[in-house]
Amino acid sequence: MLLMASLESGEYQMERVEFDVSSLMHDLSESMHGHIHDGVELKIMVHESIYVCLDPNSLRRVLKALILNANKFTPAGTITVDYKVEDDMLNVSVADTCIGIAVEDRKRIFGKFEKLDHFSQGLGLGLPICKSIVEKLGGRIGVESEPGCGSTFRFSVTTIS
């Protein structure tokens, strides 16, 4: 809740620096495997070095939240993270083989305290925090999903200061 408050008040600090997003993805892959439950395979694609100018901590925070959210709703299967840079934009996708999200619920999930499953852990702030951070990075986030067929969260952020 403190993070959401700092985002809303404008006190959330970001520092854009140049870094290799491929290295960040490799490190993320190493650190996240212990957080993924049995029966789920985490695949974080690591491409050749791609340097971007972003806040690496904010990017890592969004990625971790999306991966952990996917893990929460994927009892078995895969979570795949991929990315590319095009026209000064970093485009990222986090796809899973989870339970999926109904059309009418896709509009609500980025709202504060919205939970589609009231029995799941969390306060319903993970996706709104991701949305706020992505927007502060000059980007946008969305989801494509079909019940029973999984979900793909996509976000794009500008890579220039």
The model scores a pTM over 0.95: no
Beta strands in 30-139 (DSSP E): 40-44, 51-54, 77-86, 89-96
- Residue 127 and residue 89: Cα distance in Å, rounded? 21
CA quadruple 22, 26, 31, 33: dihedral, nearest 10: 120
- Residue 88 and residue 138: Cα distance in Å, rounded? 11
pLDDT tens, N- to C-terminus, the chain (161 residues): 556 556 666 677 789 999 999 999 999 999 998 899 999 999 999 899 999 999 999 999 999 999 998 998 888 999 999 999 999 999 999 999 988 877 777 677 766 555 555 445 554 567 888 999 999 999 999 999 988 889 999 999 999 76
Q: Comparing C-alpha atoms, which of 147, 113, 144, 137 is closest to residue 127?
A: 113
Please tell me the predicted confidence (pLDDT) of residue 59: 96
Q: Does residue 127 contact residue 3 with C-beta atoms inside 8 Å? A: no
